[in-house]
Amino acid sequence: MAVPAAELSRYFDACATTPASEGVLAAMAEAETLAWANPSSLHGPGLAAAESLERSRQSLAAHLGATGEELIFTSGASESIHLALLGSAAHLPPGRLLISAVEHPATIAAAERLRQQGWTVARAPVDRRGLLIREAFAALLAPPTRLVSLIAGQSEVGAVQDLASIGTLCREAGVPLHVDAVQLVGHGPLAFAALPLDLLSCSAHKLCGPRGIGLLLRRRALPLAAQIGGAQERGLRGGTEPVVLAAGFARAVQEACERLERHGRRDPLEPLRNRLLQQLLRLPGVELTGPEAGGEGRRLPHHISLLVRDPQGSPLAGRNLVRRLWEEGVAASSGSACSAGGASPASPVLAAMGYEPGEAAAGLRLSLGPWHREEHLPGVVAALQRARDRLICR
């Protein structure tokens, strides 16, 4: 990592973004030197750039269990989600879009665009853990539902949906399924070809890749209308391709997949996360939100989400805790990074899970990255205890 190790050791906000790894920076530097030209140009430098771009595409596709023809480069996951939903809906008569009650703001924004085009939007309910209620979801697949979009790994509370089961229900109903896999890619094995879904979005910067690039995987049989005109990406996404960013993205996914393979296809952060969580839950007034961290695989392996209460049982505001934690030298977050600037402090995700307004404003998230080590954990526990005590004693 180019970021100093001392700074990274106290950074527990990997679900918001991650620093580029040394391997990613090296891959980008090489591409910047050897593949700097426009890949649409027919001269030597342009052909070198086109070759680099294609190598990145094929590498990414292979590691994600897809083909190069199924992969579309975008500027990030938000654009990928909009392309998936708006591009698919353009080939369908207006109907109902089904999303979950705990979606990322990017999906909610795309859903609102479809609403303005005459679609209706339904939200499938979740349980107290943030997991879909299967019976309610299945009932909502009936007409006029024509498109489904779900977050695979919930960024605030860590809930991992059962994609195989959900996708099978969608296939049986004949409804295309898009999955926001931003938090999932790199933290567990994922094979697009083997999953019953049609579209998948992810982003590089969540797994030690560069900002400014994402991708959309699309089954070739699924019609998709471009949202940015141009000949690039087989006419599905115009604009000069970011060859250097693609090289960094490919290296980031390669490194993440190799890390998984070295550890039996399990994220090596999971046991570290479990030990940190156990220590945090011993503190007074600290409780877990979202699924249990266990062997079921229903929680992201690098993710912790908490509520913290005062001695009287009242929840402490999550944003205040984040500020106090930083004063104690630990970077954490409250809610989604993409919605943190909203007017209301209450998390719509926690509210959808059944938490009261005060509790919904008290969410705290810590997320680990591959730079974390065992010796970093005690400092986090001590910092949270001091931050809580300072808020109580104000």
Catalytic residues: 338
Residue 313, CB half-sphere, CA atoms under 13 Å: how many? 0
Of the candidates 324, 311, 246, 319, the residue with the CA atom closest to the CA atom of residue 283: 311
Distance CA 58, CA 79 (A): 21
Instruction: Report yes or no: 75 and 196 within 8 Å, Cβ to Cβ.
Output: no
Distance CA 346, CA 358 (A): 7
Instruction: Report yes or no: 204 and 188 within 8 Å, Cβ to Cβ.
Output: no
The dihedral through the CA atoms of 24, 25, 26, 29 has a sign that is: positive
Of the candidates 333, 126, 82, the residue with the CA atom closest to the CA atom of residue 226: 82
Strands (E), the chain: 71-74, 96-100, 120-124, 145-151, 177-180, 199-203, 214-218, 286-288, 303-308, 363-367
Give, in order, the Cα–Cα distances in Å from 110 to each of 88, 103, 204, 206: 12, 11, 20, 21
DSSP output for 195-225: SS-SEEEEESGGGT--TT-EEEEE-TTS---
Among all chains, which residue has been given the structure tokens 């891959």?
27
φ, ψ for residue 367 (rounded to 5)? Answer: -135, 135
DSSP output for 328-363: TT-B-BSS-TTTTTSS--S-HHHHHTT--HHHHT-E
Distance CA 218, CA 81 (A): 11
